[in-house]
Amino acid sequence: MEKLDKAQQLELEVLQRQKFMNAVIYEKNSPIQKFYEDTSIFLTGGAGFLGKQLIEKLLRACSVKKIYVLLRPKKDKTIHERLKDMLEDPVYDVVRQRQPNFASVLEAVEGDVAELRMGLTDKDWQRIAEEVDLVIHMAATVRFDGPLQAATVTNVRGTRECVTFAKSCKKLKCFTYVSTAFTHATESRIDTVLEEKFYPCTITPEDIIHMAETMDSKKIDEITPEIIKGWPNTYTFTKAIAEEVINTSARDLPVCVVKPPVVLPAYYEPTPGWADLSVMYGPSGITIGIGLGVLHVFSVEIDKKLNMVPVDYVNNAIITAPWDTCERRSKGTLPKDDIPILTISSSKRAIVWDFMSSVIRSDDCRRLASPLAVWYCYLIETANPFICWILTWFLHYIPAYMADGVCAVFGIKIKEIPSFRKFYQKVYKMSNVFGYFFRNEWFFADDNLSDMICRMSGKDRDIFNCDINTIDYGQYIKIMCIGLRKYIVKDGLKDSEKAYKRQRWLAVVHYVFMALYIYVLYYFMYLAYKTVEYIVF
């Protein structure tokens, strides 16, 4: 029998740990499973990274009647074609094996949260409002540096429209709004505790929506820095205003708010390390860049805490929160106009970048190297923006220009990277966008989440585990690495040992090359200096 690759072996070991959870799922009698039994759900953001895994877990663990997925036509594809493409994602492989007809539970509904009334026709609005028991709103534009106008229309007005829809639902059990833990991670709150509560905003939802609807986009772009002053980007700012929409407009609804931090590939479910391409814009993208030997510099404070949680833990909390909200309301322990906010935080046992980096650099992790790595895998971390800029030129831009020149001379075309220069420009831009979060830290209170976990039954804690304390981050980082290899790099989780040995001789090549590279740069700088000296004197 052929020996399993080390990466495949790790994947198999993790899958074995799901057996007990699956046995509990099959019993179909936990309190949360009963809560979702025969319910109809309206979901926004279902085509996103978080949304796809949420749908999968609901279908695999609960007997829901219907999930209405709000979709908009995109890239010449109808909503039905988009749903079909979405269901081909590997995230649904497990539920497809167990429930071959699982797609019959899903119904694509044409609409767009960026439109008034979410772009729903009157007929769809009325039909779905008659049937829906639960509304889960997680759609948002997650482009951190996007225009304020577009972010406001989608994140703020879209939330207002979704609340309006929820109010028209005749059988509504709960409205769940998925925000982000970083909504109020402003400059003034660095190194402070962010509590599970609504914070005051600098502008009302009505005013920012009116501005987005009536003001010229160029004018809005000009005044954006002043409007979002204190916030790092338009995404966190508009999500903060969207929370105020919930605070001021949804108190007459059974409602809860769930606030995840940075969402990473899956820990266990449905398969170890599952991810999709959207994770490329974030910490997972950094990990892939390191693992392929193309990312060598990043701006980060190595001793700052990283608040990052696997997607399956986040969605387990999102599934649990409506049940808990309804249970507490029915028992009178939650006031009718109170809105529970649950932050999914790892602050109490958060890892620091230095720990994550040490795991990635460890021999165990290097033995999980991808055979598709193009160069020696290493990373230089710095919190100094100027040093980061210098090193980026030295280790990214200059080699990129050289590589582009070689490709142009020999007619080499790489489909995935048409221009190395543009690729590294995007990397540097991402470094600047995320640098704020990697160079600073906040402490996220998660008492409401902890209390909710205590109220869960033993069976539900097995099925819908959202307890961050159960995460072994040392193991998880390795799982994330093999997940990124399998689902993003797509190297088949093969030839890890060959890749490990290849990295050892690539290290020698790298250091020899760097010595020659530094010498050549020094020589040309010396010639340039002598030329200037000759001309001047």
Q: What is the pTM of this model?
A: 0.92
Q: Which two tokens stand for residue 116?
A: 């008034």
Q: Which two tokens stand for residue 451?
A: 């209390």
Written as one string, the DSSP assignment of 185-230 is --GGGTTSEE-SSPPP-SS-HHHHHHHHHHS-HHHHHHHHHHHTTT
Give the count of beta carbons closer than 10 Å to the beta carbon of residue 529: 10
Residue 391 lies in a domain: yes
- What pLDDT shows up at residue 255? 96
Strand partners of residue 135? 42, 175
- What pLDDT shows up at residue 527? 76
CA distances from 518 to 421, 422, 514, 524, 525 (A): 20, 23, 6, 10, 10
- What pLDDT shows up at residue 447? 92
Q: Is the pLDDT of residue 254 over 60?
A: yes
Residue 262 lies in a domain: no
- What pLDDT shows up at residue 498? 93
Domain with 504, as residue range(s), is: 275-332+352-439+472-537
Q: Which two tokens stand for residue 33?
A: 């499973």
pLDDT in tens, 473-497: 889 999 999 999 999 989 899 999 9
Share of the chain above pLDDT 70, in %: 96
Report phi then psi at 509, rounded to 5: -60, -40
Q: Is the pLDDT of residue 2 over 60?
A: no
- What pLDDT shows up at residue 532? 64
Q: Which two tokens stand for residue 534?
A: 């000759």
Contact 235, 444 (CB under 8 A): no
Kindly give the residue spans of alpha helices, DSSP state H, lying in 228-310.
234-249, 283-291
Contact 485, 291 (CB under 8 A): yes
Q: Is the pLDDT of residue 269 over 50?
A: yes
Residue 435 lies in a domain: yes
Q: Is 231 helix (H, G, I), strand (E, B) or coil?
A: coil
Q: Is the pLDDT of residue 104 over 50?
A: yes
Domain count, the chain: 1
Q: In this predicted model, which residue has the larger pLDDT, 364 or 33?
A: 33
Q: Is the pLDDT of residue 237 over 90?
A: yes
Amino acid (1-letter code) at residue 128: I
Residue 516 lies in a domain: yes
pLDDT in tens, 405-453: 877 777 766 555 667 788 888 878 877 778 888 888 899 999 999 999 9
Give 1's pLDDT tier (boundaries 50, 70, 90). very low
Average pLDDT over residues 327-345: 90
Amino acid (1-letter code) at residue 395: L
Q: Is the pLDDT of residue 43 over 60?
A: yes
364-401 per-residue burial string, b: 16 or more CB within 10 A, e: under 16: ebbbbbbbebeebbebeebbeeeebbebbbbbbbebbe
Contact 186, 228 (CB under 8 A): no
Contact 35, 326 (CB under 8 A): yes
- What pLDDT shows up at residue 458? 94
- What pLDDT shows up at residue 537? 56
Q: What is the mean pLDDT of the chain?
A: 89
Residue 14 lies in a domain: no
Please, which residues have CB within 8 angstroms of residue 287's CB and are 6 or more apart in sequence?
360, 480, 481, 484
Using the 8-state DSSP alphabet, how is residue 267 labeled?
Answer: S
- CA–CA separation, 380 and 314 (whole Å): 31
Q: In this predicted model, which residue has the larger pLDDT, 2 or 320?
A: 320
Residue 385 lies in a domain: yes
- CA–CA separation, 139 and 163 (whole Å): 13
Residue (of 369, 188, 176, 372) closest to 258 by Cα position: 176
Average pLDDT over residues 495-508: 92
Q: Which two tokens stand for residue 143?
A: 């482009």
Give 244's pLDDT tier (boundaries 50, 70, 90). very high
- What pLDDT shows up at residue 82? 93
Residue 159 lies in a domain: no
pLDDT in tens, 13-33: 888 888 888 889 998 999 999
- HEC profile of 92-124: HHHHHHHCCCHHHHEEEEECCCCCHHHHCCHHH
Please, which residues have CB within 8 angstroms of residue 125's CB and are 6 or more apart in sequence?
117, 165, 168
Burial of residue 199 (number of CB atoms within 10 Å: 0-12, 13-18, 19+): middle
Least confident piece of the model among 1-10, 78-87, 515-524? 1-10
Q: Is the pLDDT of residue 154 over 90?
A: yes
Share of the chain above pLDDT 90, in %: 59
Q: Is the pLDDT of residue 534 over 80?
A: no
Report angle CA 330, 331, 334 to the nearest 5 degrees: 85
Kindly give the residue spans of alpha helices, DSSP state H, lying in 440-495.
447-455, 458-463, 473-484
Report phi then psi at 383, rounded to 5: -95, -5
Residue 4 lies in a domain: no
Least confident piece of the model among 160-164, 369-373, 435-439, 443-447? 435-439
